Amino acid sequence: MCHRKPGTPGVGKTTLGKELASKSGLKYINVGDLAREEQLYDGYDEEYDCPILDEDRVVDELDNQMREGGVIVDYHGCDFFPERWFHIVFVLRTDTNVLYERLETRGYNEKKLTDNIQCEIFQVLYEEATASYKEEIVHQLPSNKPEELENNVDQILKWIEQWIKDHNS
């Protein structure tokens, strides 16, 4: 069983992913960290001031672990991951004023700030997720306040328990 959490940077994917992993015993993989550790890049984007992910190498790197299952994948995009990898996809959503403060704190340049806020306004990542996976496995979760984080963790843990029951009987 695997699930992933796309969403604009700053919506709380990493916090949620790590919390879920510690409570569920599933393995947590942050694709950004993996790319840094393994140097899975294909050049540098001057405009956004960040390396460009080599998506094919990321997929190759993760494939064996994903076949085994029991993985939580954290990344802000999802259209290049094989559909067979995931049983459920959670897209985190954050109000733009909350998101703006979070990204500003991270020191994002103006272009990166504006583009990420627009991305959230236009639900770009939710639409990417529904275009990449069966609509019934894609769920949106609010991620503005600490209480929402706790609710999301509880909700996903219940889903995991149910999935395990349904697939082990």
Q: Select from 71, 72, 66, 84 the least CA-distant residue to 152.
A: 72
Query: What's the CA gap between 39 and 45, in Å, rounded?
Result: 15
Neighbours of 128 (CB within 10 A): 18
User: Is 10 labeled as ligand-binding?
Assistant: yes
Strand, coil or helix: what is 81? Answer: coil
User: Is 94 labeled as ligand-binding?
Assistant: no
User: Is 13 labeled as ligand-binding?
Assistant: yes
Query: What's the CA gap between 19 and 156, in Å, rounded?
Result: 11
User: Is 106 labeled as ligand-binding?
Assistant: yes
User: Is 27 labeled as ligand-binding?
Assistant: no
Which residue ranges make up the annotated binding site? 10, 12-15, 106, 145
Which residue ranges make up the annotated binding site for ATP? 10, 12-15, 106, 145
